[in-house]
Amino acid sequence: MAEAIVVTDTVRVPARALSVQAARASGPGGQNVNKVATKIDLRVDLDAIEGLSMEARARLAALARNRLDAEGRLRVTSQATRNQARNLEAARAKVRSLVAAALRPPTPRRPSRPTPGARERRLATKKHRATIKRSRSRPGETD
Nearest-Å Rg of the Cα atoms of the chain is 27
Instruction: Give the dihedral of Cα atoms 133, 134, 138, 139; nearest 10 deg.
Output: -160
pLDDT at 19: 85
Q: What is the CA angle 98-24-31, rounded to 5? A: 135
pLDDT at 124: 98
Backbone angles phi, psi at 110, to 5 degrees: -105, 115
pLDDT at 125: 97
pLDDT (tens digit, 9 = 90+) per residue, 70-99? Answer: 888 889 889 888 888 899 899 989 999 999
pLDDT (tens digit, 9 = 90+) per residue, 5-27? Answer: 888 888 888 888 888 888 888 87
| CB contact at 8 A, 42 and 85 | no
Q: Answer with the residue of higher pLDDT: 11 or 142.
A: 11
User: Does the predicted TM-score (pTM) go above 0.85?
Assistant: no
Whether 42 shows a pLDDT value over 80: the answer reads: yes
Confidence bin at 109 (pLDDT 50/70/90) = very high
Q: What is the CATH number of domain 5-103?
A: 3.30.160.20
pLDDT at 115: 96
- Burial grade of 92 (CB within 10 A; 0-12, 13-18, 19 or more): buried
